Structures are given as structure tokens and as C-alpha cells.
Structure 1
Amino acid sequence: MTDGPGTRTAEGGRAWALLMHAALAQAVTFVLRPATAYRALELDLSPAWLGVLSGTFALAPLVLALPAGTIVDRVGERRVMITGGFLLTVAGGTFLVFGSTIPGLVAASIVLGTAHLCAVVGQQALVANTTTSGKLDAAFGYYTFAASAGQAAGPLLIVLFGGSQAIPDTTPVFQGAALLAVVVFAVSFAIVDGSRTRERAPAATAGVGGLLRLPGLPRALLTSCVVLAAVDISLVYLPALGAERGIASGVVGTLLTLRAVSSMASRLFLGRLTRWLGRKRVLLISIAASAAGLAVAAAPLPIWVLAAAVIVAGLGLGVGQPLTMSWLAESAPPGMRGRAMSLRLTGNRAGQVLVPGTVGLVAAGLGAAGVLWVTAAGLAWTGFAARKLRVDSPPEG
């Protein structure tokens, strides 16, 4: 695993701990979030309030992301990831004990969001601080592949724990997720800090304002948040498109799976792609592919064409996140990579809140296809803006 998530981590035999932590933390999160919606429906919460309940998960990342990054830079990734694992366990217990009421679900969702924030910021900073510059693309590709695997496994675990009925029995789902959270907490203790963070941290005095002044940083953050918002939009509006056109839900589910798997494939081979074509060219091609794929998917075409378009979009959408991570890790001064990752996370969460609603308003009256077309146009514009980014990494040493 010569170009995996950090040569120092790999040499210490701890790469497995990072990848397992990433996959399991995402799996627990992607079990609990839909299970929360199911439990809310069991409690007769109106659909109009489901979005409000879902939004409580993002409250902590919006408010605490930047302080969390500062803490990572000061005390190390391991302690923050242990905290994330502990809070994930607390969240699972809160869902079990207090999840029979709406206020209990809100409290548990806030704890879950905080746990997810600690885990993700620590993981991303650890990759950044234990990987040599020329291997960052491959490292973040492997890392996001593991996270995507956890995200894909999460919904399947709902069927495993809760059955296949329309609204599953959420109590065993919460129990199973709580057990997995305990495993994440245990794995956290196998994490080894990125030594370079502590060695060079005193040199990092510029603060977040200094990060924001890095050349090209606003474009990189914009690229990251638009790509992530496009993923969220595809998750919501591909099913809506299927409903409008009478496409069976099983077919739509297959399409969503194809999108996820193709994104994972592009991340798995990201290091090779950037060594072959260069980071900037891969980034621009991926954004163009995602824009073209979503635009074609919105057109009234046969299912096989729709499937091909979704695969192309998935390949493109899988690249934007790890590439902007690796560029930001490379650009941030030593001792500030935790803050750099948290700054990116803050922008992503803001984009997830603002972009889908804005796109929906712009495309009002055009249906799901209109939303996908507007999203494709937004991606195309983002790709045009990203052409000025100087993101190519130095040669591997």
C-alpha cells in the first residue's frame, strides 16, 4: 500500500484503523439518519417537519467545524477521533433511550452531527498530516472510497436490522447502530497521531483568515460544495424524476446504486489518474462529465441511456471531493491542516443547505428534470471557474 492514506500511517500498521474508522463512522451515520426519519413518521411527525428534523444534524458542523479544526491542530487527530467515537456511542444510546419523543430525536441528531464532525475532521487531518505531497491524491482517493463504502452499507443495514417493510422496526435498527458505534469507539484507540502536525504547529499563526487568502482557495471551496450539493440533489431528484416518468422504484434504486459504485471506482483509481493526466485536468474532466451526465439523465431517453448517463455522472461526482481535499492539504501551512479541512467542511455544509433550495427555486415549475438541468449548468459554470486553479501536485518524491 505504497500510495495509501499516508506512508507513515501505513508503515506503523495503522492505515487499517483509519480506513475502518472512516467506513464504520459513515455506516453508523447513514443508518441513524434515515432511521430517525422512520421513527419520526412512527411518531406522526408531519412530512413538512421532517426537513427541519433532518437539518438539526447539520447544526453542529456549521457552528463547530472551525473550532474543531483548531482543536485537531493543537491536540492531535487521535483525541478528536476518540471523542467522535465516544459521541457516536452516546448518540446511539440517546436514540435508544430518548428516541420515543421528537425532542429526544432532535437531541440525538445534534449529538450525531457533532460526533460525525469530530470523526471526519480528525480523519481528513490525519490523511493530510501523514501523507507526502506527491501521494495526497491517492491517499484521499482511498480514504473517500472507504467513506463511500460505509455510506453505501448504511442503508443496507436498515434492512438487516429492521426488515424490508415500508417503515421498518426502528428499535433494532437503533440497537444495531449503537453496537457499531461502540466498535468505532474501540477502533479510535488504534489511531496514531500524525507526528508532523505537532512538530510544526508553532509555525501556524496565520489563522483561518490566512487560509482564506491562499490563492485559489475560494474557487476550490466553491468547487467542493457545488459537487457535494450535486450529489445530494441527485439522491433526491432522480427518484422524483422516476416518479414523474413512471419508472419503477426498483429501477431508480439500481440507478442510485450505479451512481454510488461509479463514484467509488473513480476514487479507487484517483492516484493513477492524476499521475497520468495531472490533477487539474482530472478535476476539469470530472466536473464536465458530471455536468454532461446529469444533463443527459434529465432528458426523456431510454432506460439504458439513463443508466449510462448516471454512471458517467457518478464517475465525475466521485472525484471533486478527494481532489479538493488533497489540494487544500497541500496548500495549507503545516500545523493548520485540521483548520483547512474544517473550513472545507463548513463550506460544504453551507452548500448542502443553500444550493438545493436555490436550485429548486430557479427551476420551479420545470419539475425534476429542470432541477437536474439547472444543477448541470451550475456544475458547468463551476468547472469553467475552476480552470484557473493551480492545483497540480508536485512530482512524487
Structure 2
Amino acid sequence: MRAGAALLCHAFLLQLAAYVVRPTSAYRAIELGVDPRMVGLIAASFALLPLVVAVTIGRWNDRGHVRPSLVIGGVLMTGAGLGVHLWSQSLTSLLIWNAVIGLGHLLAIVGQQTLVAQLGRERLDSAFGTYTFVGSLGQAAAPLVLSAVGGSAVLPDTGLLFVIYTVTCACLLGMTGLLPRSRKTDQRLGSGNSLRSALGVPPTTRRTMTGAMLLSTLVLAAVDLIQVYLPALGVERRIPSATVGVLLAVRAAATMASRLGLARLTSRVGRTRLATVSTIVAGVAVGALAVPMPIVVAGLLLAVAGFALGIGQPLSMTIVTTAAPAGTTSTWLALRLTGNRVGQSVIPAVLSAFTGSIGTGGIFVITGVGLLGTAAAARILIADDL
């Protein structure tokens, strides 16, 4: 019980740190006079290194190296916190430090998800729902920190926010020693074989994995784009940073609510249907944010979007864990994270190139359309009996 509580605390701190540093980096870029069209590159840099090493880290975890993965991740995030605080006086330095933070975050999160998959094997929907709920709690706390520091100013004190991020990462690293030990995997069941062998699954399973990963990628990209572009939209429309922080917290709180009741929703609706419907609702709500509106209406839309977006991530984890052959769970979870990082790097970078012509509001329209297309693909690809 104590080890499980430590894992949830670790998950909270990881998301708190990530969701403090990323909008803070966007604000620092604006502080430095960086063109708002380039802000999306910060989100892309966070995902850059994980694209190369995610599956390798997954195989490493499958072989029983969960604790080293968590420790190294904490060290990288803490060290990068010092770097981004002391040496981030240009867009290039911001991109470099965010790339290191992204790598550390990946190492930590693969370790976390491996432990959750092992500890919650008999009740995956509930286990991943609780895990992502606590992560969402960290996401909700982060913009409140942003609001407290920023107050009524359009641009908050980024130096203080980077200090808060670094201290949070140091606590995360200290918590690692209290986490549960990972179980040894049976080498005959895939953990000791080649990557090709580990990824060799029947066509039906491969389609299901593809659908789950596509769902995860677009949902996470949508959350990231909200996180990065809502501050930019706030600057355009002269919305105080404290108000933007509250709006981001509303999104995160709604996400928490959906994850807390995920097991009940899944049992009533079914995983495939729930994945499809929730993504459609999210697409409509996110797209509507492009229209100028009162703050209260924007808050309601973000609540709807947050609730719907909160369902896709834990559902995709459950689907991948259920479908993965024994001894390859971490590998497939890492492959899912690779897809996430592709979305986090490619999608913001591509949209940054079009921000000048379509405006920040247009980013939300394109994101909504992408979610609607993802819902259609997930309905076709993911098996109904999961």
C-alpha cells in the first residue's frame, strides 16, 4: 500500500513539473521577443529525443531495469531545470533544455506505466484510470502555480517558475527510492528476444494497437496544443496570465473527473465506443475555442474538452497492455509513447508554419478536425471485444 501511494505521488510530481515548465518556456520565449509563430517549436523539442530512444527504453524496462529508468529520468529533469533557469536566454537554449526535459520525462513515465501495468493487471481500467487521475491532479495544480506567480500580469515571473519546477523535480528524484520493485519478466515470453520478435503480433492485434496509438497520439497532441497555444491566445486577446492559468486548470480538473470514473464508464459503454464518442466530443469543443467568446463560455468549452480528452490516454494504455504479448508490455507502452512524441513534435512544428496565415485561433480549428478524424479511425481499427 505504501509503495502504491509512493507511485501515485511520483506520478503527481512528474506531471506537475512537466506542466509548469512547458507553458513557462512559452512565456520565456515571448519574453525574449521570439515570434509567436515559433512557440510551437518548444512543444516539438520536448518530444525530439524520445522519438529516437523510446522503444529501446521500453525493451530495457522489460528486462527489469525499471528503477534505473526512473532514477536517470529524475536526474535529467532536475539538471535541465537548473539549465533552463540559468542558461535560457535564446530560443535555441530553450529548445535544448526542453529536449533534455522530454527525455527525462520519457524515462520516468515508461517506468511508471510499467509498474502500473504490473500492479494492476487484474483491474487495468481502474489502475490506469487512477494513475492518470493523479497525473491530471498534477496538471491541474501546475496552472494554479502559474496563476499564483503571474497574478494580473500578462507575462509571469518565469525565473521563479523555473525554480519551482527544479525543486519539484528534486522531490520527484527523492521519491524514487520509495517506489515498488518491478517484477521480473519471463525471458522466454518475449523480454529477452529481438525487437522484431517482440513486435510480431497477429494482424488483428496490430490493427488494434495502431488504433490505440493513433488515439493516444492525437489526444495528447490536442492537450499539448491547448497548453502551449492558450497562453499565446491569451496574449493576443489581452487575457491576464492568471485567467489563462485558471482556464488551463479547468481543463485539467475536468480531465481528472473523467479518469476517476473511467472503470464505470468503460463497463457501461465499452472501450471502443467510449474512445470514439469521447474523441468526437473533444474535437467539437476544441474547435469551438477559435471563436472569440466570454471567458465563462471558454471555461465551459474547456471543461467539456478536458473531460473528453481525459478518456483517451488511460483507455489507450489499457488497450495496449491487454493486447500486448506477455513479456513485451513495456515495449508496446514505449512504442505508444513514441507515437505520442511523434505527434508532440511533428504536429506543433507543422502548425507553427501556418500560424501566421491562419492565426492562433485557426490552430484550435485544425486540432478539432484532427480529433474528429481520429475518432473515425479508432472506431474502424480497435477491436470491439476489448
**TM band (smaller chain):** 0.7 to 0.9
Is 1:114 aligned to residue 107 of structure 2?
no
Deviation of residue 304 (structure 1)? 5.4
Which letter does structure 2 place at the counterpart of 1:257?
Answer: A
Deviation of residue 362 (structure 1)? 8.2
Name the CA shift for 1:174/1:361 in 2 (closer, same or farther; >3 Å).
closer
The answer to whether the Cα contact below 8 Å between 2:40 and 2:352 also exists between their aligned partners in 1 is: no
SS of equivalent residue, structure 2 residue 185: helix
Deviation of residue 373 (structure 1)? 3.6
Residue 291 of structure 1 is matched in structure 2 by: 283
1:50-89 equivalences in 2 (<5 Å)? 50-52=39-41, 54-89=43-78
Distance 1:59 1:145 in 2: 26
Is 1:260 aligned to residue 248 of structure 2?
no
1:38-87 C-alpha deviation (Å, 9 max, x unpaired): 55556665656655455332222111211111111113322211221222
Residue 370 of structure 2 is matched in structure 1 by: 378
Which letter does structure 2 place at the counterpart of 1:182?
Answer: A
Distance 1:85 1:258 in 2: 28
Residue 135 of structure 2 is matched in structure 1 by: 147
- Which is worse superposed, 281-290 or 265-274? 281-290
Residue 344 of structure 2 is matched in structure 1 by: 352
The answer to whether the Cα contact below 8 Å between 2:220 and 2:340 also exists between their aligned partners in 1 is: yes
- Which is worse superposed, 358-367 or 123-132? 358-367
Distance 1:95 1:302 in 2: 35
Residue 188 of structure 2 is matched in structure 1 by: 202
Please, which runs of 5 or more residues in structure 2 have no aligned partner? Answer: none
SS of equivalent residue, structure 2 residue 325: coil
Residue 390 of structure 1 is matched in structure 2 by: 383
SS of equivalent residue, structure 1 residue 199: coil
Residue 19 of structure 1 is matched in structure 2 by: 8
Q: CA RMSD in A?
A: 3.4
Specify which of 323, 330, 343 is matched with residue 338 of structure 1.
Answer: 330
Deviation of residue 338 (structure 1)? 1.3
Which letter does structure 1 place at the counterpart of 2:332?
Answer: A
Name the CA shift for 1:156/1:307 in 2 (closer, same or farther; >3 Å).
closer
Distance 2:160 2:247 in 1: 28
The alignment of Structure 1 onto Structure 2 pairs a total of residues equal to 379
SS of equivalent residue, structure 1 residue 333: coil
The answer to whether the Cα contact below 8 Å between 1:162 and 1:172 also exists between their aligned partners in 2 is: no
Deviation of residue 116 (structure 1)? 0.7
Aligned-residue identity in percent: 39
Distance 1:21 1:173 in 2: 20
Which letter does structure 1 place at the counterpart of 2:101?
Answer: L
SS of equivalent residue, structure 1 residue 216: helix
The answer to whether the Cα contact below 8 Å between 1:65 and 1:342 also exists between their aligned partners in 2 is: yes
Distance 2:287 2:18 in 1: 30
Deviation of residue 363 (structure 1)? 9.3
Is 1:277 aligned to residue 265 of structure 2?
no
The answer to whether the Cα contact below 8 Å between 2:54 and 2:334 also exists between their aligned partners in 1 is: yes
Name the CA shift for 1:72/1:296 in 2 (closer, same or farther; >3 Å).
same
Name the CA shift for 1:52/1:236 in 2 (closer, same or farther; >3 Å).
closer
Which letter does structure 1 place at the counterpart of 2:171?
Answer: V
Is 1:131 aligned to residue 124 of structure 2?
no
- Which is worse superposed, 28-37 or 84-93? 28-37
Which letter does structure 2 place at the counterpart of 1:271?
Answer: A
Which letter does structure 2 place at the counterpart of 1:138?
Answer: S
Deviation of residue 376 (structure 1)? 2.7
1:16-55 equivalences in 2 (<5 Å)? 16-39=5-28, 50-52=39-41, 54-55=43-44
Which letter does structure 2 place at the counterpart of 1:176?
Answer: I
1:340-382 C-alpha deviation (Å, 9 max, x unpaired): 1111111111112333455677898555554434433322222
- Which is worse superposed, 334-343 or 369-378? 369-378
Is 1:192 aligned to residue 192 of structure 2?
no
Please, which runs of 5 or more residues in structure 1 have no aligned partner? Answer: 1-9
Distance 1:256 1:79 in 2: 33
Distance 1:366 1:53 in 2: 19
1:256-279 C-alpha deviation (Å, 9 max, x unpaired): 332221111101111111122222
Distance 2:231 2:372 in 1: 23
Distance 1:199 1:124 in 2: 15
Distance 1:47 1:86 in 2: 31
Which letter does structure 1 place at the counterpart of 2:308?
Answer: G
Which letter does structure 2 place at the counterpart of 1:390?
Answer: A
1:302-328 C-alpha deviation (Å, 9 max, x unpaired): 765554433222211110111001110
Using the size of structure 1 for normalisation, the TM-score is 0.81
